[in-house]
Amino acid sequence: MGEVHPDFIQTLEHQPKLDITEAEGIPLIDLSPLNSLDFDTDALARLVAEIGDACKNWGFFHVINHWVPLQALEKVDLTSRKFFALSRDEKRKVRRSRANPVGYSDFGITKNNSDWKEVFDSIIEDPIVIYASDEPDDKELKELHNQWPQEVCEGYNAEMQKLSNKLMKLIALSLGLEKDRFDGFFKEPTTFTRLNYYPASPDPQSTLGLRVHKDAGALTILVQDDVGGLEVKRKGDDEWISVKPIPGAYIVNVGDLIQIWSNDKYESVEHRVKANSEKERYSIAFFLNPSHYIWVEPLEEFINEENSTKHKGYRWGKYYATRKLSNFKKVVTAGNC
């Protein structure tokens, strides 16, 4: 491999340290009480409390006993590996465009000042409707459609939707809300799955697989392979903590929307992916996003005399359009959505 283009070199502040604390601290949560036939309200209350503590103290947690069948994951993982092994020209046949920003992107490798990665995005419902432009008063809508390998992701996406639904209910309960409180936001979800491929980097000390960012949606559910590299900024001391791969577990993190809806009771936490000089790495991220027309603002339950609103409202779909179209303009954005 050749030398790293200077635009990929991270500033000192963002360069990964060699010796990074392992994430013993990131909570590991067993979801099996939800599955139990003899419904145990004490176990459920303990689970809700664990979720609440994890969201408050970390913004990140692992889940096990999550019912996502291993075969569904293995199938999509295999497809991902086969897809990224294709030639660049072949992959570019399904590349994202301004007209349909769903599919393959190698902006990470080819665009200046970006991340050492390639991605493939697929939406969970085909088509999804988004705003055609980021102009606030422009009401025009357009449809996004999946490209290959859509059908492979379908089974996986359905499983992830079920899991995200359960997690949103647990999070609602942990915030003292009705369990269905968030349901109305996801009637026509703009949720998508991203296959990530991080090739080995010629200079892992000064590059990143994925730069420091927060996730813009409601919730992210990620599975990483055994290479590792994901790091989370610990609340309290801002130390970068490496998220150790746990076989069979998913990593869940709170996105910006939960932070806003909860009026900062829970926070969306910064994270990044270290580059690796020897091994390529694969991960699969499921980004739970609301309907395009949803107005995002703190829930009224969290506004009172002591707690004023901490966020200005915005239309999710307008923000989403700005983000999706930004790769096709010369706009640099700092988060994922």
Ligand X SMILES: O=C(O)CCC(=O)C(=O)O
Give the interface with ligand X as residue ranges (CB under 6 A): 194, 196, 210, 215, 222, 224, 230, 271, 273, 283, 285, 336
Nearer to ligand X, 327 or 336 (CB): 336
| 234 binding partner (options Fe ion, ligand X, none; Cβ < 5 to 8 Å by kind) | none
Q: What minimum distance in Å lies between the beta carbon of 251 and ligand X?
A: 8
| 194 binding partner (options ligand X, Fe ion, none; Cβ < 5 to 8 Å by kind) | ligand X
Q: What minimum distance in Å lies between the beta carbon of 137 and ligand X?
A: 30
The Cβ of residue 309 has, within 10 Å, a number of other Cβ atoms equal to: 15
What is d(CA 107, CA 117) in angstroms, rounded to the nearest whole number? 8
| 96 binding partner (options ligand X, Fe ion, none; Cβ < 5 to 8 Å by kind) | none
Nearer to ligand X, 152 or 195 (CB): 195
Nearer to ligand X, 173 or 258 (CB): 258
Q: Which strand (E) or helix (H) includes residue 257?
A: helix 256-261
Q: What minimum distance in Å lies between the beta carbon of 27 and ligand X?
A: 17
Cα atoms in the 13 Å half-sphere on the side-chain side of 281: 25
Write out the residues near Fe ion by the rule CB under 5 A: 215, 336
Q: What minimum distance in Å lies between the beta carbon of 224 and ligand X?
A: 5
For residue 27, give every residue at least 6 positions away whose Cβ sits within 8 Å of its Cβ, in sequence order, or none: 50, 53, 54, 57, 58, 61, 62
Cα atoms in the 13 Å half-sphere on the side-chain side of 230: 29
Q: What tokens appear for 256 in the block?
A: 């910006």
Nearer to ligand X, 234 or 271 (CB): 271
The DSSP code for 244 is -
What is the sign, positive or negative, of the torsion defined by CA atoms of 327, 147, 250, 42?
positive
Q: What minimum distance in Å lies between the beta carbon of 5 and ligand X?
A: 21
What is d(CA 272, CA 321) in angstroms, rounded to the nearest whole number? 23
What is d(CA 91, CA 83) in angstroms, rounded to the nearest whole number? 7
What is d(CA 208, CA 7) in angstroms, rounded to the nearest whole number? 11
| 254 binding partner (options Fe ion, ligand X, none; Cβ < 5 to 8 Å by kind) | none
| 230 binding partner (options ligand X, Fe ion, none; Cβ < 5 to 8 Å by kind) | ligand X
Nearer to ligand X, 173 or 257 (CB): 257
Nearer to Fe ion, 33 or 118 (CB): 118
Q: Scanning the structure block, which residue is given the tokens 């970068």? A: 240
Collapse the DSSP code of 26 into the 3-class scheme (helix H, G, I; strand E, B; otherwise coil) and give the result.
coil
| 224 binding partner (options ligand X, Fe ion, none; Cβ < 5 to 8 Å by kind) | ligand X
Q: What minimum distance in Å lies between the beta carbon of 69 and ligand X?
A: 22
